[in-house]
Structure 1
Amino acid sequence: MDIREASGKDIPIILGLLYELGRPKPQKDSDIESFRKLIKKYITDSDKKIILAQLDDTEIIAMVSIIFLPRLNQNSLELYIPELIVRDKFQNQGVGKKLINSCISIGKEKKCHRIRLESGNQRKESHKFYKKLGFEQSGLSFTKNLN
């Protein structure tokens, strides 16, 4: 298994992985193009990365997205993970751990002060996974939909 940064050719696969996580699917063709542009912008932004796990130079089986965030009370960046997705049939095989370890390495290279992520309340197995990797629950997340 190879771990590598995403490129423009990976956009359709990235969209598919996001749908597997339960992210909204496009309702019309213009939405698909809009989502593709968003991912392309994400890939080319120096404050963001998408890292992929690829099996045998062919099949992409997992991804993690990263945003480097400045914080008002820190002199270093925070590495934030909005999405970590491992295809169902490849879960519990060390793929997610490899992606998290890649994030840790990237965070250390960038001299980030911490890695932060969120996980939905219903994702109990994910919570166990993160705790096993040394993450601690450090707060609650609140949202308010504006649509």
Structure 2
Amino acid sequence: MGIRNANVEDFQQISLLLNQLDYQDTEPFIKEKVEIFLMDPNEVLLVFEDDKSVIALISVHFIPQLAVKGDFARISYFAVDKNIRSKGIGRKIEEYCTDLAIKRQCDRIEVHCHSRRKDAHRFYRRQGFTESPEYFIKMLP
């Protein structure tokens, strides 16, 4: 039981976890996406495995910075199986990623978390995150 680097064979269990976050229908492309993440030196895709089942995942993207000394780490996706939340697994994964970010000379971790995910907001606040409300997106065709 514990945190490990994801591998391509985890793609189906990763897809199920993403489904719990309302990312529907990832099955047709998730294997290819996992392969891309695993080849990117600025991307870390981790899973938490319990009894050979993936019960949580996190992806962290490391973003080099030009104008500030420290780089940024961005949590792209973070899911803990809905049946086992609030048991400390998310905290362990987030703390593991914080250590990775420090080792990669990052001075911050950022995460975008939709306003409807109130439980996730409470989790991030407990972990020391503060809200930075200005966030803009431009949808592309």
State whether residues 76 and 111 of structure 1, in contact with CA within 8 Å, keep that contact through their aligned partners in structure 2: yes
State whether residues 11 and 30 of structure 2, in contact with CA within 8 Å, keep that contact through their aligned partners in structure 1: no
TM-score relative to the length of structure 1: 0.88
Alignment of 1:136-147 (within 5 A): 136-147=130-141
Provide, for residues 23-61 of structure 1, a one-character-per-residue CA deviation record: whole Å limited to 9, x for no partner: 1415xxxx71x33212211112111011111113x1110
1:143, distance to aligned residue in structure 2 (A) = 2.5
2:4 is aligned with 1:11: no
Provide, for residues 80-121 of structure 1, a one-character-per-residue CA deviation record: whole Å limited to 9, x for no partner: 001110010110100110110011110111111111101000
**Which segment is superposed worse, 78-87 or 3-12?**
3-12
Please, what is the CA RMSD of the aligned residues? 1.6
Structure 1 residue aligned with 2:50: 55
1:11, distance to aligned residue in structure 2 (A) = 1.6
Instruction: Tell me how far apart the structure 1 counterparts of residues 70 and 111 of structure 2 sit (CA, whole Å).
Output: 17
TM-score relative to the length of structure 2: 0.92
Give the secondary structure class of the aligned counterpart of 2:109.
strand
State whether residues 11 and 40 of structure 1, in contact with CA within 8 Å, keep that contact through their aligned partners in structure 2: no
2:104 is aligned with 1:110: yes
Give the secondary structure class of the aligned counterpart of 1:146.
coil
Structure 1 residue aligned with 2:37: 42
Number of aligned residue pairs: give it.
141
Q: Taking every aligned residue pair, what percent have the same amino acid on both sides?
A: 26
In structure 1, list runs of 5 or more residues that go unmatched. Answer: none
2:121 is aligned with 1:127: yes
In structure 2, list runs of 5 or more residues that go unmatched. Answer: none
State whether residues 38 and 45 of structure 2, in contact with CA within 8 Å, keep that contact through their aligned partners in structure 1: yes
